[in-house]
């Protein structure tokens, strides 16, 4: 099952803006909305962004999502120490007939 491609790591100082990319194909990101999940060490993933750019209740507006063609992005503005985590993009793949996840990006706050 092919995964979506994310950079393995991203970092920034407190207050900075960090952007994570997620690259796919016309069968997945190109044709479906994208979700983003956050996973803290030793815990289950939790939904951060859904339908490409919508935030669930309780997620601060420092987190935003976007999509263009076969790529999506997650932006974290006003970076905070508690944002240190693994971030995954995900979507449905029409060709595979299943969900695909990104390869994960570890965000470090310097």
Partner 1 sequence: VQLVESGGGLVQSGRSLRLSCTASGFILADYALHWVRQAPGKGLEWVSTISWNSDFIAYADFVRGRVTSSRDNAKNSLYLELNSLRPEDTAFYYCAKGTDNYGIGTLDYWGPGTQVTVSS
CB of 91 to partner 1, least distance (A): 9
* CA 24 to chain CA mean position, Å: 12
CB of 81 to partner 1, least distance (A): 23
Q: How far is CA 64 from CA 49, 56, 75, 93, 107, in A?
A: 7, 11, 5, 22, 15
- Residue 71 DSSP SS3: strand
CB of 79 to partner 1, least distance (A): 22
Binding residues for partner 1, rule: CB under 8 A, are 1, 3, 32-33, 35, 37, 39, 43-47, 50-51, 56, 86, 88, 90, 92, 96-104
């Amino acid at each position: 099952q092919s995964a979506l491609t994310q950079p393995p790591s991203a970092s920034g100082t407190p207050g900075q803006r960090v952007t994570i990319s997620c690259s796919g194909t016309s069968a997945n990101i190109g044709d479906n909305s994208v979700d983003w999940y956050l996973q803290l060490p030793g815990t289950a993933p939790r939904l951060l962004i859904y339908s490409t750019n919508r935030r669930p209740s309780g997620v601060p507006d420092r987190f935003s999502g976007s999509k263009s063609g076969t790529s999506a992005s997650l932006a974290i503005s006003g970076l905070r120490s508690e944002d240190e985590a693994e971030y995954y993009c995900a979507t449905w793949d029409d060709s595979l007939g299943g969900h695909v996840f990104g390869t994960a990006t570890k965000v470090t706050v310097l």
